[in-house]
Amino acid sequence: KINPLENILNKSIKNNVIFVSGAAGSIGQEICSQLLNLNPIEIILFDISEASLYKSLENLNSLNKKNILLTPLLGCATNYKLLTNIFINRRVNIVFHAAAYKHVPLVEINPIEGIRNNIFSTQAICRASKETSSVKKVILISSDKAVRPANIMGASKRVSELIIQGYAEEFNFENPPKVFSMVRFGNVIDSSGSVIPLFKKQIQKGGPITITHRDIYRFFMTIDEAAQLVIQAAGIAKGNEVFLLDM
C-alpha cells in the first residue's frame, strides 16, 4: 500500500466547498469519505442515480464525525445549465469529476451513450467551471485505457483529457490560474469497474481466467489509494498535468 502525504491531502480541501460528480459510484463515494476528514465547508454529492445517491448519503452520514455539510443533488453531469446553477449558488471551489461509464464491454455495445456521458459531461463540467468565478480547480478522473486507446471507453476518456488540457491552456495565464488537471487510474480493487470480481468468479469455477493477452501486465491499486491520489492531485496541481500512482 502506498501511503499519502498528509500535508498535500489537506492542502486544497480545508475551508473549501467541494463538488463530486458521480458521488454515488465506488470511486466518488470513497473520495467523499476521505474528504470528511479534511475539514471542507461542504461536500456536494452529485449523481444521476437516486437509489445509489441515497445509499451513498446514508453511508457517508454514518462516517461524518465532524458534521461536515453533505448536500445530495440529483442530476446529469452533461447538464451545463444545472451545473452552472449549482456551482454559482453553492459557491463551489474544487470540482472532482468522477461521473463516467467505465465498463469497456458495455460501452462497446452502447458507444453513442458512452461518448455522450463521458465526453459531453467533461465539456459541461469545464464550461460551468469556466463561468463560475469561485471554482479554483477541476480534477478529471481518467483511465489508463486512455493511453493509445483500443476501445470506445478509452477513446472517450482520451477526448475528455484533451478537453481538460484545452481549458488548462486557456486559463494557464490567469493570475491566479484556474487549474484543470487529470488523474489516470489503473485497475482499482473493489471499484464498480474492477475486473477482480470477474477473476474471482472464474477462479472459483476452476478457470479459465479471461485475460486480454498471456504477456500482459496488470497493475492494481486499492480504492482508498485511488481516492487519496485524486485528493493529493488537487493539492499539487498547477494545471495541465496527468497524475499517476506509481504501482
Q: Catalytic residue positions?
A: 145
Integer Cα distance of 125 and 138 in angstroms? 8
The three cell numbers locating residue 195: 475486473
Question: Rounded to whole angstroms, what are the CA distances from 134 to 69, 82, 170, 190, 230?
Answer: 18, 16, 17, 34, 20
Q: Output Rg (C-alpha) for the chain, integer angstroms.
A: 17
User: How would you classify the pairing of strands 42-47 and 187-188?
Assistant: unpaired
Q: Residue 1 contacts by C-beta under 8 Å, 6 or more apart in sequence? A: 222, 225
Question: Rounded to whole angstroms, what are the CA distances from 125 to 82, 94, 100, 122, 177?
Answer: 10, 11, 12, 5, 17
Integer Cα distance of 226 and 111 in angstroms? 26
